[in-house]
Structure 1
Amino acid sequence: MKSTIEKLTPTLTDIFRHLHEHPEISWEEYETTQYIKNLFEEYACRVSTFKNSTGLVVEVGQGKPVVGLRADIDALWQEVNGTFQGNHSCGHDSHMTIAIGSLLTLLEGGHPDNGTFRFIFQPAEEKGNGALTLVEEGIIDDVDFLYGMHLRPIQELQHEQFAPAIQHGAARFLEGTIRGEDAHGARPHLNANAIQVGSEFFQHINSIHIDPMIPHSVKMTSFQAGGKNANIIPGSATFSLDLRAQTNEAMDDLMAKVERISNMLADYHEVKVDLKMSANVAAAVINDEASSIMREAIIECVGEEKLEPMITTTGGDDFHFYTIKRPNVKATMLAIGCNLQPGLHHPDMTFNHDAIPPAVEIVTDALIKTVKKYNQA
């Protein structure tokens, strides 16, 4: 396998460069989908796209088990050097490259005869609803094992360190509106100042307390009110909230408290305060058998000295909806150390690209081990 990956490395470098230079945001990954599809047209594999969605699935092999590898394909929309643009600052360009490299390794280096390898190139992870859309497409209804991967910041893993699982937390993004009437600046008694309502909302969410043993946070991440006239007291505003919790149960607790704050402020100030969930990412549900196979693959491919324990992070990933919606699927994610800094989602994020070939080897070995273990059982 190493010799195949070494031969493929220059090709993977070109693939990564193309994907990095052509980022597309969630649900708009049209060129990315077509580019990946074109890569495999000449190979003996099955390529499927979706009628109502970007993304694609590529399969090789046949029969049971069905072992999946998922890569997210969307980029973030953020300001880079003063310009808003698509940007792969979460490492999805590398995730795609690793999955493509694994598939090419199986196609060119050979794979077990019994078993189906399903490569899932999923859109809209950054929106938190890409996985749910593909679940509705039925792509994992017959999947036995599912693997994913994610680059980790330098604070969690150093270059050439790998962990067999990522214990992501839950995340919810809320869009809020405050609806009231404007008033003249000389008559503050005639309305509720939306800025004051928002300020009180901010103060109350910072006073939320749940079990301190469970990492959690609630932040107001945007607030807009008022206009160009300084003598108008705004009655309406919009805002957004970012909720994080390490468990799904703690997230439900946080959400209930935020909703009570919203209702209390609306009642007290006699305004309408509405909350709408724009994204909901579940906390990880990790399978011991899948993570054990990934652990074996790490040891065999790069050595036990580069194996690290499961990573626990308050970050989220919609990958975990696959196992929540289909509990029969055994899943885990490979954590990849690559000296990533200054951090995920930073517009100038960089990482050591030399981490890509060993990651390809590890996930490919995990796929093959899974099929062999299944057929031996």
Structure 2
Amino acid sequence: MTIMTSIKKQVEETFEYLHQHPEISWEEVETTKYIKRILEENGCEATTFEDCTGVVGKFGNFEKGLPVVAVRADMDALWQEVDGKFQPNHSCGHDAHMAMVLGVLWKLKEQPELEDQVAVKLIFQPAEEKGAGALKMIEKGVIDDVDYLFGIHLRPGQETELGRATPVIVHGATKMIVGEIKGHDAHGARPHQNTNSIEVGAQIVNMIRQIHLDPRVPHSVKMTQFQAGGKNVNIIPGNATFSLDLRAQNNQLMEELTRRVEEILTSLQSLYHTQIEITQTHGIVAAENHQQAVEIMQQSIADVLGEEQVDEPLLTPGGDDFHYYSVNKPSLKATMVGLGCDLGPGLHHPAMTFNPEALISGVDILHRAIINAYQLKQKNQ
């Protein structure tokens, strides 16, 4: 068995194990143990944390003052309905991302001459689906010494085809707003005695649909959850909970979109003489990628797949907390490669599948990006 065949087999087997053992955000306990064991078995210094899941491996020489190149994989599965049952499910490709980053380690290990010439961090980050895991890793100081940061994400077939890859995913900003409409119930025969929270919810839907911002920049806002009333149909509910999903392609437009939504909620309070309270707000910043990192990744894809297989930057309304790293450390040279893999029916679909042959391409691209980053550094010295 050749070295490459061996690594390919290891990556595919690791993916299958992780796919069969999904764990949701902040509960990636067994996943953390599994990856930590592999890191240590391969000679890495592995760091875990007392108050959260996640693990960071260090490969190479961190004493020579070399630039530190990090590769990040997200760990968490989604909690979603699969065949009529809610369960953890890897329908976003995080199991594949972890397997590919471990593949990078195995490939580095097959080149013992590199161990004294590189300083590589392998970051396995929890809770990407909550938009909070990257912030926790930043809090832990994981990127304090990092100069280059590379990520990877499987892409749907309509975005990037099998055998191709894009050197940068230009994610948009996302924000989730959870709110409550507070009032009291009334008898169905006496609608004048309360404010119907369902009617308030309907007005929220109608008014957010009338928000018009710069049409040149993709954006959207929609209601994704609404709960009101109980088992009795002759009660007019005065209380309700709702959730709004906001998307904007850049951080500036997200600020404006958020302001407009908040103005709508405030105006409806006055119109309906009821209380509307925002109880939760969380989100993810838009991508702020570094041009040098993008160029390194572009060359790396060309080296592995061929120049004709390099796609243009991918603009997508989806989000990823990967971008908190570069927003919180502007000097960080970061980008996320989008890997074509014949993924369908779509990300977050409970029956999502992809072509596992793409896994080794992802390994090779990330490995090449590490090598190219060091070669560029040497060239510029």
Scaled by the length of structure 2, what TM-score is found? 0.96
| Residue 121 of structure 2 corresponds to residue 121 of structure 1 | no
Partner residue, 1:201: 204
Kept in 2, the 8 Å contact 1:223–1:237? The answer is yes
The SS at the match of 1:64 is coil
Kept in 2, the 8 Å contact 1:4–1:109? The answer is no
**What displacement does 1:278 show?**
4.3
**What displacement does 1:286 show?**
0.9
Kept in 1, the 8 Å contact 2:293–2:335? The answer is yes
Partner residue, 1:361: 364
**What displacement does 1:5 show?**
3.1
Letter in 2 for 1:90: C
The SS at the match of 2:103 is helix
Identical counterparts, % of pairs: 50
Kept in 1, the 8 Å contact 2:170–2:313? The answer is yes
Partner residue, 2:162: 159
Kept in 2, the 8 Å contact 1:78–1:86? The answer is yes
The SS at the match of 2:87 is strand
Once residues 367 and 336 of structure 2 are traced to their aligned partners in structure 1, the CA distance between those partners, rounded to angstroms, is 13
Partner residue, 2:56: 57
The SS at the match of 1:40 is helix
**What displacement does 1:115 show?**
3.1
Once residues 41 and 20 of structure 2 are traced to their aligned partners in structure 1, the CA distance between those partners, rounded to angstroms, is 24
Report Cα offsets for 1:262-312 as digits up to 9, x if no partner: 111112111111123443100000111001001111111111121111111
Once residues 102 and 217 of structure 1 are traced to their aligned partners in structure 2, the CA distance between those partners, rounded to angstroms, is 37
Once residues 237 and 296 of structure 2 are traced to their aligned partners in structure 1, the CA distance between those partners, rounded to angstroms, is 58
Once residues 80 and 29 of structure 2 are traced to their aligned partners in structure 1, the CA distance between those partners, rounded to angstroms, is 19
Once residues 50 and 121 of structure 2 are traced to their aligned partners in structure 1, the CA distance between those partners, rounded to angstroms, is 19
> Are the structure 2 counterparts of residues 286 and 122 from structure 1 closer, same or farther at C-alpha, using a change threshold of 3 Å?
same
Partner residue, 2:102: 100
| Residue 314 of structure 2 corresponds to residue 311 of structure 1 | yes
Partner residue, 1:81: 83
The SS at the match of 1:41 is helix
Which stretch shifts more, 270-279 or 15-24?
Answer: 270-279
Once residues 3 and 295 of structure 2 are traced to their aligned partners in structure 1, the CA distance between those partners, rounded to angstroms, is 25
Q: 1:258 aligns with which of 239, 257, 261?
A: 261
The SS at the match of 1:220 is strand
Q: 1:68 aligns with which of 58, 67, 70?
A: 70
The SS at the match of 1:235 is coil
Where does 1:225-374 land on structure 2 (aligned, <5 Å)?
225-374=228-377
Once residues 170 and 135 of structure 1 are traced to their aligned partners in structure 2, the CA distance between those partners, rounded to angstroms, is 19
Which stretch shifts more, 269-278 or 79-88?
Answer: 269-278
Partner residue, 1:134: 137
| Residue 16 of structure 2 corresponds to residue 17 of structure 1 | yes
Unaligned runs of 5+ in 1: none
The SS at the match of 1:334 is strand
Letter in 1 for 2:346: G
Unaligned runs of 5+ in 2: none
Kept in 2, the 8 Å contact 1:5–1:361? The answer is no
Once residues 241 and 179 of structure 1 are traced to their aligned partners in structure 2, the CA distance between those partners, rounded to angstroms, is 17
Letter in 1 for 2:109: L
| Residue 43 of structure 2 corresponds to residue 31 of structure 1 | no
Which stretch shifts more, 138-147 or 277-286?
Answer: 277-286
Once residues 147 and 93 of structure 2 are traced to their aligned partners in structure 1, the CA distance between those partners, rounded to angstroms, is 26
Kept in 2, the 8 Å contact 1:23–1:87? The answer is yes
Partner residue, 1:375: 378
| Residue 147 of structure 2 corresponds to residue 144 of structure 1 | yes
Moved over 3 A (4+): none
Once residues 348 and 324 of structure 1 are traced to their aligned partners in structure 2, the CA distance between those partners, rounded to angstroms, is 33
Once residues 333 and 98 of structure 1 are traced to their aligned partners in structure 2, the CA distance between those partners, rounded to angstroms, is 14
Once residues 333 and 5 of structure 1 are traced to their aligned partners in structure 2, the CA distance between those partners, rounded to angstroms, is 24
Once residues 32 and 189 of structure 2 are traced to their aligned partners in structure 1, the CA distance between those partners, rounded to angstroms, is 57
Once residues 105 and 133 of structure 1 are traced to their aligned partners in structure 2, the CA distance between those partners, rounded to angstroms, is 28
The SS at the match of 1:106 is helix
**What displacement does 1:112 show?**
5.5
Scaled by the length of structure 1, what TM-score is found? 0.97
Letter in 2 for 1:360: V
Letter in 1 for 2:95: D
Partner residue, 1:211: 214
| Residue 223 of structure 2 corresponds to residue 220 of structure 1 | yes
